[in-house]
Amino acid sequence: MTDLLLLPGDGIGPEVTAQVRRVAQALTPDLKLDERPFGGVSYDAHGVPLTDEALATAKAARAVLMGAVGGPQWAGAPRDKRPEAGLLNLRAGMKVFANLRPALCFGPLAEASSLKRELVEGLDIMIVRELTGGIYFGEPRFIEDLPGGGKRAVDTQVYTTAEIERVARVAFELARGRRNKVHSAEKSNVMDSGLLWREVVTDLHRREYADVQLEHILADNAAMQIVKAPKQFDVLLTDNLFGDILSDAAAQLTGSLGMLPSAALGVAGTPGLYEPIHGSAPDIAGQGVANPLAAILSFEMALRWSLDRAAEADRLFAAVEAALAGGARTRDLGGALTTVQMGDAVLAAL
């Protein structure tokens, strides 16, 4: 059985994933790794961004780690064969409905944030975003011509009790292992889906998680609070659309896109999907200068949440911290290390 399936993908994906492979070989040499083409490179080779065989291998693995997909060379591909469509199909096929996005500020990088050091130093937020429902998937969705000219576009925001409850459960469980606090963000003041969201979270909290501190917050206020006093948050639970936006805002607090890992989880016992939040960065692809830490920290999350290797995850996290404290910086962090040299720094700290 494959422990970790690597899907390096396009652009800088293969460059950063290669560093994950090196780290895995050093830290957990017993893990069985496997690899498949994915995204644009799979489209070029097989005509589809995700083959049935690659999806089946992903579903049978214990964890999947993806690099990044996409690039201008595939902009003309049919919409359903674009690299990004492969990613949506992978998430849907793996049934990963809870997206975990930590926004962590490493002390040595506090200066790189656009906020003042005292606001972000020690920051540790976990955003839990619903990933497979809501307005990105709701039907009907269409653009139609209007009789008198002009057009009308419709998207549908839709959530069921079950969809809200299963992702809220992930947030409460995580909070118990952290600082025991969940903020649930929606727009219950103006949206029915927000009203149901608040009701379901409140009810689940009362029934099963009364020991966890719960606060409801309107999503627009959450956006304000994230840039005003981000350290008030521990776990922030929200839907697909608001989560997309709030997690990017929170990400920016920590300095560079090249530092940010993520996980997408389904029901217990099924493989998690781990990926840096950055894209394929066509502007720097092939130059060997991408920061591999987001990918390496995604592996750290895989060790913790899917591979049952918390001790190794702790060691890896400490090694990343030590490398940064020792001054290791790729170009996005204001330094001059190459991707491989940053990998070297983490390996040396390990």
Q: Report the catalytic residues.
A: 136, 187, 220, 244, 248
CB of 13 vs ligand NAD, minimal distance in Å: 7
Q: Where in 116-145 is the site for ligand NAD (CB under 6 A)?
A: none
One-letter amino acid at 285 equals A
Tokens of 72: 């201008």
Whether the CA torsion 78, 84, 90, 93 is positive or negative: it is negative
Which residues fall within 8 angstroms of residue 39, CB to CB, at 6 or more apart? 7, 9, 10, 13, 49, 68, 69, 70, 83, 86, 87, 280
Cα angle 18, 20, 26; round to 5: 110
The answer to whether the beta carbons of residues 134 and 192 sit under 8 Å apart is: no
Piece of the chain touching ligand NAD by CB under 6 A; list 132-140, 191-199, 242-250, 271-279? 271-279
The answer to whether the beta carbons of residues 167 and 272 sit under 8 Å apart is: no
CB of 262 vs ligand NAD, minimal distance in Å: 9
Q: Which of 112, 138, 267 is nearest to 193 (CA)?
A: 138
CB of 281 vs ligand NAD, minimal distance in Å: 4
Chosen residue from 93, 108, 138, 282 binding ligand NAD by CB under 6 A: 282
- DSSP reduced 3-state for 96: coil
Q: At what angle do helices 52-60 and 83-94 cross, to 10 degrees?
A: 40
Closest to ligand NAD by CB, 300 or 332: 332
Residue 280 contacts ligand NAD per CB under 6 A: yes
The answer to whether the beta carbons of residues 343 and 22 sit under 8 Å apart is: yes
CB of 296 vs ligand NAD, minimal distance in Å: 10
CB of 58 vs ligand NAD, minimal distance in Å: 15
Piece of the chain touching ligand NAD by CB under 6 A; list 30-38, 189-197, 224-232, 276-284? 276-284
Residue 273 contacts ligand NAD per CB under 6 A: no
Encoded one letter per residue, x for contact with ligand NAD by CB under 6 A and - for no contact, window 292-331 reads --x-------------------------------------
CB of 263 vs ligand NAD, minimal distance in Å: 13
Encoded one letter per residue, x for contact with ligand NAD by CB under 6 A and - for no contact, window 179-218 reads ----------------------------------------
- Alpha helices, H only, the chain: 13-27, 40-46, 52-60, 83-94, 117-120, 161-176, 192-208, 219-228, 240-252, 293-305, 310-325, 339-349
Encoded one letter per residue, x for contact with ligand NAD by CB under 6 A and - for no contact, window 23-62 reads ----------------------------------------
Chosen residue from 8, 49, 70, 243 binding ligand NAD by CB under 6 A: 70
Q: Tell me which residues touch ligand NAD (CB under 6 A).
A: 12, 16, 68-71, 84, 87, 257-258, 275, 278-284, 290-291, 294, 332
